[in-house]
Structure 1
């Protein structure tokens, strides 16, 4: 990439004051020396309060202490997008160390402004290099010191770096204010959706009439029904004429899906669309544009016969997190199929599919279902039998239609607001990257011919470093070996060697 006159291309290692250092792995101890959590790396800087106790002494932690101006990077993460992300230590009111999940960067202030590094590190110019170089092991993306040292940076003169940072901070601060307004709107949308769904599903949103009162009679349909998973007696009262019903009583069928062998699934095109959990969106839709997968009609009618679904069936995922994403199968195909992480509810004569979907999205009913989940190796699972015992509020069909129509307007408005917020956030991120791009190709601020060119400054400081000698990389002290009771080589003599003696070396 071309840069203006007076700029230079450098690698990160060229502007360091100290070698990069990996943090140290340390066991947690409640009253131990403070060590940062990975969640301390935030866009606004390192949150020093986000730490835990480590089982090491102050002396052991000393090489890994952070100071104001340090730049800490995420060394490894399950997401390629997050590996290598950095944050600046803006102040240092407490003594805290960094763990082996981080790498510390200290730059030479004579060559590069730390705020300039902080901003360029979040640009696509650097992120592309990091994400391309990240390697995955057991699902964890990692970046090593050698790769980081080789990251290429455009380096303006030092004074121009400071001018760039000043203008950037002005632009980005105003952009951040706008984004904060979007995030606030998104946060308000979620409780609004939850309130609409719960008030509708439990009857508190219906138009009040003289006889519209809640009654304990709403649980009488459960009197002779037993459940090991739900306490039916603790369910709230519903309006008169509404009843709590086990889902198996009001659904024609409730079945979970199945997953065939890999060679029977076809990405991109095929005969029968095969739905997975990621095809169910958080806002209650089926989005088959996400990694579409198909199965053959023979597989659909034989091996996957029990997991066939059709338009109007209501799907809910029972393996997560997250649990309970719910959507109605659309009309795009006559038949679909689903994998083992999804349950299909087919509405019977007493309940409408739209009402069934609305109720399953209700935080109250969803909370009942989620409370039965069992965790295994970080994954939550809900049993199919639990889905069949799940209590559902069922009003008369006429009221179901009225409430669905009333809720649809509110839900559509809330979802439209959420969708607009998401689009605005995407535009804001594109604008942010465009501003950063202009900054680091020399188009954000004018160049000043009086500035000392970066190449001359590099040469000057390089000569100083050569005269001083190359700094040695910090070495990690190996743990002391435990004493062995078995016979072994004789212990080294405790008698000190003469000053000019040469110790003999042996091959390991």
Structure 2
């Protein structure tokens, strides 16, 4: 049952200012606005995308970013498994059932779509009643209230991945405006969110420009080896300092009397160490060997190819931290400043120097200790190192300021987007019209549609079941079922051509 405006009820907001609805609106669960819903199916797939002539299974990334990306699919391995009931059509509303924490439950309205794409078991398809505006419904699924409800219901043991069940999604309560107002809301959101989308594109372009500037500054700070000044000492990383691999993790060290925090790849970014999520292991032995000191440079030993060797300086916070074997540590020698070492390694990262030294296993690039030791390393005088580090820091600081401005602009844009959606579903984005048909009438129509659709589905299932029984019955009959002619009787004389002579029997 739907819950009328201001009445409260199961699953509806309390009768507070937030729970009240404009005249003509009504509360209802998602299940009450649907005439059907489908869960996808698990298929055996090839990781490669399907060609346009092949059947493919969509990935969750196809519906993650607010638009349906048909290229995000995997090729079906066995076409015999194709069930056209799972084929995606234009106008479908799809929801990501399993995704990252940020995008679980992400909805998308499918526009033009190539044929032969199937729904996967990580996705759902919702079919609202004909009186429900589909764009309005998708906007509601993206609203802050729904995102909050999904976050509360999503489950999963992974730090990054979450799942939401179909039943939990269908139990979420939403405010239903009249059908005409739904269309007005959707049109208003189209216009306003399009402007924010343009702003997001400008921010993305500015970020790309800032990244290009940062790379160029680092490349210009230190020339290529052939152009090093003659008073610079040409050495290798091994000669400029000491290089060590971190401690391997082992189940035996998950608990113990001397637990210590350690850094891993997830903590080391370019010129930044994130200590918000530190793990610990027992260092009853060997802590001194792996203890970090202020000024140590950490480089990613295992990463994606373009990020392997990503460096950052440990500045002593927090104290008493070790590092694992997913990282390499460079400790500068007496004639090398830690800041200069960081600058050299950042330059190598952006020049693609580390990529020439990596070995790739299972899509992860590795930079071994021996290969890092052999990488070229220039050593100017200490005064020259200080000058170049200071000049480069000044130039990079201006790019960092641009990044901070873009961060603030992006946060403001995201806040505006949330506010627009919240206003829309509180009835404050467009005016109400007392001549609009009330939402309660809309819900009655949907109930009738749903009952008719369910009756149709039941009839189709009965017909399919009868067809299967008939097919099995036919399969059990003999191959030839010719009926013999009836036996002649004394009242039915045979034709002359078919008469026979019977032998006479005599008894003595």
TM-score, normalised with respect to structure 2: 0.76
Find the residue that maps to 2:377 and give its secondary structure. Answer: strand
* Cα drift, residue 94 of structure 1: 4.5
* Cα drift, residue 352 of structure 1: 1.5
Q: Does 1:124 align with 2:111?
A: no
Q: After superposition, where does 1:86-101 map in structure 2 within 5 Å?
A: 86-92=107-113, 94-101=115-122
Change (3 A) 1:252 1:24: closer
* 1:222-252 deviation per Cα after TM superposition (whole angstroms, max 9, x unaligned): xxxxxxxxxxxxxx55343335422111104
Q: After superposition, where does 1:4-153 map in structure 2 within 5 Å?
A: 4-28=22-46, 32-57=54-79, 60-77=82-99, 79-92=100-113, 94-110=115-131, 112-136=132-156, 140-153=161-174
* 1:324-355 deviation per Cα after TM superposition (whole angstroms, max 9, x unaligned): 33222225566543233222211112322111
Change (3 A) 1:265 1:14: farther
- For residue 329 of structure 1, what is the aligned residue in structure 2? 314
Find the residue that maps to 1:103 and give its secondary structure. Answer: strand
* Cα drift, residue 89 of structure 1: 0.9
Flag structure 2 segments of 5+ consecutive residues without an equivalent: 1-12, 14-18, 462-471, 479-508
Q: Does 1:410 align with 2:399?
A: no
* Cα drift, residue 440 of structure 1: 1.0
Q: After superposition, where does 1:395-474 map in structure 2 within 5 Å?
A: 395-463=380-448, 465-466=450-451, 470=455, 472=457
Change (3 A) 1:459 1:494: same
Q: After superposition, where does 1:32-431 map in structure 2 within 5 Å?
A: 32-57=54-79, 60-77=82-99, 79-92=100-113, 94-110=115-131, 112-136=132-156, 140-202=161-223, 237-252=227-242, 254-257=244-247, 261-263=253-255, 274-282=262-270, 284-288=271-275, 290-292=276-278, 299=283, 302-321=285-304, 322-332=307-317, 336-364=321-349, 367-431=352-416
The answer (yes or no) to whether the contact 1:265–1:294 under 8 Å persists in 2 is no
Aligned equivalents of 2:475 and 2:317: distance in 1? 84
Change (3 A) 1:127 1:402: same
- For residue 215 of structure 1, what is the aligned residue in structure 2? none
Change (3 A) 1:55 1:258: closer
Aligned equivalents of 2:179 and 2:80: distance in 1? 37
* Cα drift, residue 400 of structure 1: 2.0
Q: Which has the larger radius of gyration?
A: 2
Flag structure 1 segments of 5+ consecutive residues without an equivalent: 204-217, 219-235, 476-490, 498-508
The answer (yes or no) to whether the contact 1:186–1:421 under 8 Å persists in 2 is yes
Find the residue that maps to 1:135 and give its secondary structure. Answer: coil
Aligned equivalents of 2:205 and 2:118: distance in 1? 34
Match for residue 476 of structure 2 among 487, 495, 500: 495
* 1:399-445 deviation per Cα after TM superposition (whole angstroms, max 9, x unaligned): 32222122111111112211221232122212211211111122222
* Cα drift, residue 364 of structure 1: 5.0
* Cα drift, residue 169 of structure 1: 1.8
The answer (yes or no) to whether the contact 1:315–1:329 under 8 Å persists in 2 is yes
Aligned equivalents of 1:42 and 1:336: distance in 2? 37
Structure 1 residues 128-137 or 53-62, which shifts more? 53-62
| Equivalent residues, number | 440
Change (3 A) 1:56 1:334: closer
Root mean square deviation of aligned Cα: 3.3
Aligned equivalents of 1:97 and 1:295: distance in 2? 45
Change (3 A) 1:303 1:24: closer
Aligned equivalents of 2:157 and 2:387: distance in 1? 54
* 1:248-286 deviation per Cα after TM superposition (whole angstroms, max 9, x unaligned): 1110454534558333599xxx9x76434333333x123
* 1:340-392 deviation per Cα after TM superposition (whole angstroms, max 9, x unaligned): 32222111123221110011112457733344444445544332333323322
Aligned equivalents of 1:402 and 1:455: distance in 2? 74
Aligned equivalents of 1:331 and 1:418: distance in 2? 25
Change (3 A) 1:278 1:55: closer
* 1:129-170 deviation per Cα after TM superposition (whole angstroms, max 9, x unaligned): 223222326775323322232232221111111111122222
Aligned equivalents of 1:357 and 1:385: distance in 2? 19
Aligned equivalents of 2:182 and 2:241: distance in 1? 66
Structure 1 residues 248-257 or 188-197, which shifts more? 248-257
Change (3 A) 1:410 1:471: farther
The answer (yes or no) to whether the contact 1:255–1:345 under 8 Å persists in 2 is no
Find the residue that maps to 1:263 and give its secondary structure. Answer: coil
The answer (yes or no) to whether the contact 1:202–1:393 under 8 Å persists in 2 is no
* 1:159-208 deviation per Cα after TM superposition (whole angstroms, max 9, x unaligned): 111111122222211222222211111111112111211221326xxxxx
Change (3 A) 1:471 1:15: farther
Aligned equivalents of 1:150 and 1:472: distance in 2? 22
